Amino acid sequence: MLFHVRMDVRLPHDLDPELAARLKADEKARFQELQRSGRWRHIWRVVGEYANVSVFDVDSNAELHSLLLSLPLFPYMRIAVTPLCRHPSSLHEDDR
Tens of pLDDT, residues 8-37: 999 999 999 999 999 999 999 999 999 999
* CA-to-CA dists, residue 55 to 16, 25, 81, angstroms: 31, 21, 10
pTM as predicted: 0.89
**pLDDT score at 88:** 86
- Please state, in angstroms and rounded to a whole number, the distance separating the CA atoms of residues 59 and 48: 32
Please give the CATH superfamily to which domain 2-84 belongs: Dimeric alpha+beta barrel (3.30.70.1060)
> Residue 86 has what pLDDT?
84
Going from N- to C-terminal start, the domains of the chain cover: 2-84
Give 49-76 pLDDT, tens digit per residue: 999 999 999 999 999 999 999 999 999 9
pLDDT interval class at 95 (50, 70, 90): low
